[in-house]
Amino acid sequence: MGKSELGRRLAAVGHFDQARECFSEAINSELAQFAVVDHVLSQERLSHLLSRMGKFRDATASIQTALEIAERELAPRAIPSESGWGRRLIYLNRCRASAALQYLYAGDFESAEQHLRSAIDSIEPWANDLPAYVWFQYYLGRWYHDLAESLTGQQNMAEAEEARRQSLAAWESASHSDFVVFLHGRGIAHYRLGELLHRTGRMQQAAEHFEMARATYEELAARQPDSWDCHWPLICMLANCPAEEFRDPARAVELAVRALPKHVGHCWRYTALAQYRNNEFEAAADSVKQGMRLREGGDAIDQTLLAIALHRTGRVSEANDASTNAKTHLAEKRPVFYEYLGIDAVNRLIEEADVQSTGRAILYDLAD
User: Distance between CA 158 and CA 179 in Å, rounded?
Assistant: 30
Cα-based angle 339, 341, 344 (whole degrees, multiple of 5)? 105
At 96 the pLDDT is 96
What backbone phi and psi angles, to 5 degrees, belong to 165? -70, -35
DSSP 284-331: HHHHHHHHHHHTTT--HHHHHHHHHHHHHHT-HHHHHHHHHHHHHHHH
For 251-262, the pLDDT digits (tens) are: 999 999 999 999
User: Distance between CA 151 and CA 243 in Å, rounded?
Assistant: 22
At 5 the pLDDT is 82
At 359 the pLDDT is 60
DSSP 183-209: HHHHHHHHHHHHHHHHHTT-HHHHHHH
At 85 the pLDDT is 73
- The pTM (predicted TM-score) of the whole model is 0.91
At 155 the pLDDT is 95
At 41 the pLDDT is 87
Taking the CA atoms of residue 240, residue 243, residue 248 and residue 252 in that order, the dihedral angle to the nearest 10 degrees is: -20
At 89 the pLDDT is 85
Q: Where are the domains of the chain?
A: 1-74, 277-368
Distances (CA, A) of 54 to 74, 141, 149, 345, 346: 29, 25, 19, 19, 17
* Amino acid of residue 186: R
Domain 1-74 classified CATH 1.25.40.10? yes
pLDDT tens by residue, the chain, 368 residues? 678 888 888 787 777 888 888 888 777 774 444 477 888 888 999 999 999 999 999 999 999 999 999 998 887 665 555 666 777 888 899 999 999 999 999 999 999 999 999 999 999 988 776 655 678 889 999 999 999 999 999 999 999 999 999 999 999 987 566 788 899 999 999 999 999 999 999 999 999 999 999 999 999 999 999 899 999 999 999 999 999 999 999 999 999 999 999 999 999 999 999 999 999 999 999 999 999 999 999 999 999 999 999 999 999 999 989 989 998 998 898 999 998 999 999 999 999 888 887 764 444 444 44
CB contact burial 62-96 (16+ within 10 A = b; e otherwise): bbbbbbebbeeebeeeeeeeeeebbebbbbbbbbb
User: Distance between CA 347 and CA 168 in Å, rounded?
Assistant: 22
- In a 13 Å sphere around the CA of 260, the CA atoms on its Cβ side amount to 25
DSSP 3-state of 358: helix
At 287 the pLDDT is 97
